[in-house]
Amino acid sequence: PGFADSVIARQIHSPAALESRFGLIGGDIFHGKMGLDQLFSARPMIGHAEYRMPLKGLYLCGSGAHPGGGVTGAPGHNAAKAVLADRRPWKRSA
């Protein structure tokens, strides 16, 4: 109750506005379309679906990674698992 009174402003952005203001191609908030050709092992693209990027130590964990936008936290969780799997035990100095 009374929530409407606490709203002080709102903004509505069209896809064109999202593209021009924030660089989201086509106004796409999910870092790439969620079509069948961009899901599962093809997200973000074939060969890079395991959260590891070509640069060692660089991981993808946002909406551009599987399962994509709208599944809050899941890409980060999955990327964290990849980081932990790649982590080597600290070497002790002699």
Whether 39 and 63 share a structural domain: yes
Whether 21 and 43 share a structural domain: no
Tens of pLDDT, residue by residue over 7-56, are 999 999 999 999 999 998 888 888 777 788 878 888 888 888 889 998 98
> Whole-prediction pTM value?
0.64
Amino acid type, 14: S
Whether 24 and 38 share a structural domain: no
Whether 18 and 45 share a structural domain: no
Structural domain of residue 43, as residue ranges?
32-94
Tens of pLDDT, residue by residue over 53-92, are 989 899 988 888 888 877 778 999 999 999 999 987 665 5
Whether 5 and 41 share a structural domain: no
Whether 78 and 68 share a structural domain: yes
The residues, any chain, with a CB within 8 Å of residue 64's CB and separated by 6 or more, are 30, 31, 32, 43, 44, 75
Q: How many domains are contained in the chain?
A: 2
